[in-house]
Every structure is written in C-alpha cells, then in structure tokens.
Structure 1
Amino acid sequence: MKRVPFGATSSPFLLSATIQYHLSKAPEEDKKTAVLKTSFYFDDFLGAAHSKDSVLRIYEQANRIMLKAGMTLKKCRQIPLLCKII
C-alpha cells in the first residue's frame, strides 16, 4: 500500500484516480455500477434512489467496491435508517 501526505498538491487527484480505478474494475452487470462512477466527489458518495431498499442496495454495492480498495463509506446524511447501519 502506498501513502500520500495529506495536503500534498496531488492528493485530490490521486484519491479520485484511485477510486475511479477501483470502480472501473467493478463488474458492470447493471446500470448501478455506471451510476457509481459519476457519483463520487473526492471520497464522498452522492446518490439518490426512489426507495429505502434501493438506497440500501446502492450503499452495499458502493461499500463493497470501496472495501476492495481498502476504504469504507462512513458518513451518512438524510436517511436515518442507513445512518444507523453505517
């Protein structure tokens, strides 16, 4: 595992490139994976869904991909059910 000092000029680019790399390795069996590729701002996942079940599925898929990269999704806003799970 490589480390980059926090605050280095290249840190935001390297973080984004690392996340995009791991997302590109995820199977694209459905369109949700494609949505994930455009739903990250730095290490924050920004997404929406029509139902709580959809939110949970999207979260589980995004978190599974991030765990493979050695990262976890930790923050949650707006959905108390999901915030309790995280």
Structure 2
Amino acid sequence: MKEESNIIPLRFTRVVFGVSSSQFLLNATIAHHLDQYNEKDSEFIAKIKRAIYVDISFGSKDDDTTFELYEKSRESLQRVGSI
C-alpha cells in the first residue's frame, strides 16, 4: 500500500502575464485571433502578422494608406476583444 504524501501537485489554469514569456504569449494570442479573419482580408492580415511583435507597427508611402492600415488593424483587434 502506498504511503500518503504531503505533496499536492498543482498546475496553472490561466496564462500568467508578467513573466518573461508573456510577450510570446501575447503575440501568439493575437496571431491566433488574426488567423480567424484571414479569409476575409488575407493580404491585410499577412501585413499585420509580418509586423507584429509586442506592438503592431507598420508604415506606408503615404499618410492615407497608413491611416487605413491603422483603422483596419484597430477594427480587427476590437472584434477579438484585444482593445
């Protein structure tokens, strides 16, 4: 018969932010949500995924195109509840 142990194994049931892997987890989470919208605007989603790390940063030759990219990225992230 096994002896009872005082050790109780525990595990995280939520993602812990604030540790060194949190930037990776944020990137992976946003990329996962963006994949859900890939069929609707695949070119735009590809641009964001290439530019994403912790912050989304991209540029363009003119201000109108840059603003359009900003608006589309904001709308996409609002749909998935990121902002």
TM-score by length of 1: 0.66
Query: Root-mean-square deviation (CA), in Å?
Result: 2.1
Structure 2 counterpart SS, 1:45: coil
Amino acid at match of 1:59: Y
Aligned to 2:24: 13
What 5-or-longer segments of structure 1 have no aligned partner? 73-86
Larger Rg: 2
TM-score by length of 2: 0.68
Structure 1 counterpart SS, 2:60: coil
What 5-or-longer segments of structure 2 have no aligned partner? 1-12
Aligned to 2:44: 32
**For the Cα contact (< 8 Å) 1:49–1:55, is it kept in 2?**
yes
